[in-house]
Structure 1
Amino acid sequence: MYAETKHEHFLAFNCVQRAHQNVVENLPVFLSLLFASVYRPLAAAIAGLIRVLGFVAYVHFYSSGDPAKRQYGSFGNIGMLIMLGLTFEAAYRLISA
């Protein structure tokens, strides 16, 4: 799955591969939280945009070949936390209705 260390660009390829895997692994959680935030669609859309921009920054900086730069995309976690809060609000409203 990863490039062999003998190849000239193995580190860059492996960084791109890992960034892709991370996005694919986080996508179901992201979509579930986004769709569960039904009571505040504008806030959910803004939080989703923050998360997507975080994904883009994460992949861009991680793909540069320096794995330490992937931290620049971590601001997208703020969007994920907002969506998590909106999901808890939706669950509370559904339970108390």
Structure 2
Amino acid sequence: MGALSKEYGFLVLTGNASFIMVMYLAYNVSKARKKCAVDYPKMYSDDSEDRNMFNCIQRAHQNMLELYPAFLFFLLIGGIQHPRVASALGLTWIVSGEIYAYGYYMGNPRKRTRGSFGFLPLLSLIGLSVSFAVKHLGWKHCC
């Protein structure tokens, strides 16, 4: 296969952008934690007045963290063969994550579905990683 292409740098930048997004969501949780007086180590608020707001902000961040390791894996592996495509898919996933979080922040978890289009780029990244594996293994007649 040889060395990584010069364009693989796009993936590194996309990975960095995704980390900034996740840290920004963590910052929002920290601000909401302070505003709603939810002390560590509590993950969620039991106070009925602030519970909905804080818990929605916390869940938005938690949902992103649940997918984040898989996203990074598929981004970096799938991008070996198609770095520009993978980077564009990764940026789309990042944008969808922000839209998802802000929908969730509205206090109505159903509004998070505005960002659910992020599953399409994630599934596409999975496809790119499988394509890379098949090519790397030399399975020409497989798929």
Aligned length: 96
Alignment of 1:79 with 2:121, yes or no, is yes
Unaligned runs of 5+ in 2: 1-42
Shift of 1:56: 0.7
Alignment of 1:53 with 2:95, yes or no, is yes
Unaligned runs of 5+ in 1: none
Matched with 1:23 is 64
Structure 1 CA distance for aligned equivalents of residues 67 and 127 of structure 2: 17
What is the TM-score of this pair, normalised by structure 2? 0.64
Aligned mate of 2:84, from 42, 58, 66: 42
Shift of 1:40: 0.4
| Structure with max Cα Rg | 2
The CA deviation string for residues 42-77 of structure 1, in whole angstroms up to 9 with x for no partner, is 000011011111111111110111111011110111
Structure 1 CA distance for aligned equivalents of residues 46 and 123 of structure 2: 37
Structure with the bigger RCO (C-alpha within 8 Å, sep 6+) is 1
Percent sequence identity over matched residues?
36
What is the TM-score of this pair, normalised by structure 1? 0.93
Shift of 1:5: 3.5
CA contact (8 A) 1:47 1:82 kept: yes
SS in structure 2 of the partner of residue 39 of structure 1: coil
Matched with 2:36 is none
